[in-house]
Structure 1
Amino acid sequence: MTPSSDTPAARRRLAGDHTGPQPATHWPTTLLGKLAVTGNRPAVMLGETLLLPIIALALGFAWSPNDPLWTEGFPWSWLAPVILALRYGPLAGLGGSVVLLLGWLALHLGSYDEFPQFFFLGGLILVMLVGEFSSLWQARTRRAETLQLYLDQRMEHLVRQHYLLRLSHDRLEQELIGRPMSMRDALSMLQEAGAGPQGPETLLRLLAQYCQLETASLCRVVDDEVLPEALASIGRTRPVVAGDAMVRQAIEGRRLCHISQALRDEKDTRYLVAAPLLDLGGELYGLLVVEEMPFFSLHDENLQTINLLLGYYTDGLSAHALAQPILEALPDCPVPFAFEARRLAHIRAMTHVSSVVVALEFLPRAISSGLPDQVRRLKRELDETWLIDAPNRQVLAVLMPLGDANTAQGYISRLEQWCDQKAGQSLAQAGIFAHVIGLEWGNTLTLLQRIEALAHA
């Protein structure tokens, strides 16, 4: 690690902190870039479907009154349906073609026997081909965006975990006199509290002990409005002022705000810190407002710690909510494993990008050699594991995000090589048998129950 990575700005970047300036959104600045942005509303699509062919007809009528559709020579009028097909797919292109057809019929009343059949047939074939090409690439783009969103969320989660680990090991012994708790202890307590009724109180108590808060409240936020009744509070708190400048800035900006920013912007506020509770998807769960804390505790590192503890807690809330159906049926399933299984199954249903589970069955001779724990340490960075213990065997389920049967076979081959180098045996000889199971959205719970049944067979 270079020395520059220990500066407050670098730590903010590592922690994914939102207290610093946010990057500006890059919108298309050129005319062509603006034209390439498609409207998401059906009314916009319908308006363009009608307007573009009409403009083509009007230009054709102004340029060539006798042949507005340019049936003789290059068919310039078909550019309008082709553009619609490229932007919105074959259905919009077909709608533009119908407008051109209606225009020709309106301009040739009583002379329908002159209908240019090959002109319209060739144009429709061109529009359908272009529309099919557009639909294919739109589907690929949506799939790539979904996968990129998933990878960004996992990266942000790993960055948070990495920074929390650094904080846990960077604390000096003399600081623990004022903070009789390590970061590991704090995270363990947050994990145990989870989504239970005592969760907000546990979170606020940890923040008070670890970040030296004296007067603070934790409030719910519904539709970007702070509810007056606090979920938890410490010190002599007063009702939260929903219209306070710092409170509104924290909610609207979705980032931690503190008193120095308010003084710089000349805003009147009675709070020292206002921090939203956001998960990885950006969903707002609540708001922490701090009225009193020691002057020397109001520094960048402490603010980053507040942001990270809030993020860790809300990540746990979202994970518990998504994994709840699985946890009710399989109480022994780890929350991270159930959460990832549900999220990856949803990605499979939306984008058809597969994920796979490798269930490794360990017989008693493998268990006596300690192989389950050794194999568990060989997992990849993004994989999640679930070790199921039964009287006669153990099953280690390894969830491999964005993988397929080839990924699973590569993992099993790597285990074969490892086992051969370690003991000169194959997996079967060592008492390990692999089962490869694809992950699907509709039967995620059934799949996990099937894996658990392997251990109790």
Structure 2
Amino acid sequence: MPTPSDSPGARRQTAGENARPRALPGTGLPRHLLGRLAIAATHPAVTVGETLLLPLLAVALGLAWAPQDPLQIQATFPWPWLAPVVLALRYGPMAGLGGASVLLACWLGLNAGHWGNFPQLYFLGGLILVMLVGEFSSLWQARTRRAETLQLYLDQRLEHLVRQHYLLRLSHDRLEQELIARPMSMRDALAALRHAGSEDGGDALAPQALLRLLSQYCQLECAAMHAVSDGHAAARPSASIGAYDGLHADDPLVRQALQTGQLCHVSQAVTAQQDTRYLVAAPLLDLAGDMYGLLVVQDMPFFALQEESLQTIQLLLGYYTDGLSMSQLAQPIVQQFPDCPPLFAFELQRLAHIHRSTQVPSIVVALELQQRALEQDLPPQIERLKRELDEVWRIEAPGRQVLAVLMPLGNATTAEGYIHRLEGWMQHKSQQSLAQAGIFPHVVQPDSAQPVRTVQRLHAIAHA
């Protein structure tokens, strides 16, 4: 049962009492009054005023208490000197000296004509006391300023760290959402596509595997793959996902994709004003321009229909269809350079085709290994450091070798990161740099128009 003290009125009254400043015992003064007196003024006029008024007030009290000795020169304790001492404590030795000068001026004014009786020890002792107090005051004020400056710096750093933590949290949430939407990276998707045509059951399962991969990476909810022959798509889908209701060959988006041989989507100006039941129609073209099939997307999330997702669909389809004609793609390079591995030539041709169609670049790092590197058996060790999608071609030359590392979907920054990783590996392995170990890297930008030129440049590096 609630007591009277638990009522809202009682709580407000208690809070009000707690908010009021409590008085010092026996004085009736609030506790924070002495704290306010200890706070030094910052305005110069206030400081000068206190320097003049406090000693004058002390002398006035002395006149009221003992008119015959207002400065308490003959008294047991020189009370007027408390004013310069307080000034020295608040503002330092200069303010204390100013207060002592006011006391001296008061003595001279009160003892006009009797300056021969000047109390030397009285003023000497007072000045020594004021100087000592002022020196300690200056020392502690300097320490206080340093502490306040340090505290201000720490507060600013804390505020900066809080903001950085907040931004990092937002970035982490964004990455988490992206990870939920796209559970695999682009390299994982390309690695899975390499084995899509070699699954158990033959090539008939490859289109279904490709659709599953596209649904995971590009968030396709309803789509189908149709075989294409002589520019016409088969009515029966070779693979489908979702509640697919069949191909409508007269659909304007389908006709446009088959005629142009390019990916078409509903937001394009050509089809925006036409009645279409599909969101995306993308042909499967290889490097030679042959059309293997047609991907039609009937349903996908609204926010997934963006340029990045469309570029990803086109890249995966191109990578997949190029893999169906591996030997044909590699043949032009292998005929001219028989020592080039077919898989390396195939990947070079396929990545050049991807660069032309999707503007996604790749990069080649050619590691020139001198004789001292060959004596340490470094080439096979470096080959084991390649990434999953990288292809390596070891070019033999008199007295040296060249390891050509083809990095799909990479650029100059990717090459620099790979070289830096090799540099760290070499330092950890033998406490040497790449140059000291006899390894000299070269970064080669593949020629997307004529991939054979890239192989020629690699041969020129090896036989220079």
**TM-score (normalizing by structure 1):** 0.39
Whose relative contact order is higher, 1 or 2, with alpha carbons under 8 Å and at least 6 apart?
1
Larger gyration radius, structure 1 or structure 2: 2
**TM-score (normalizing by structure 2):** 0.38
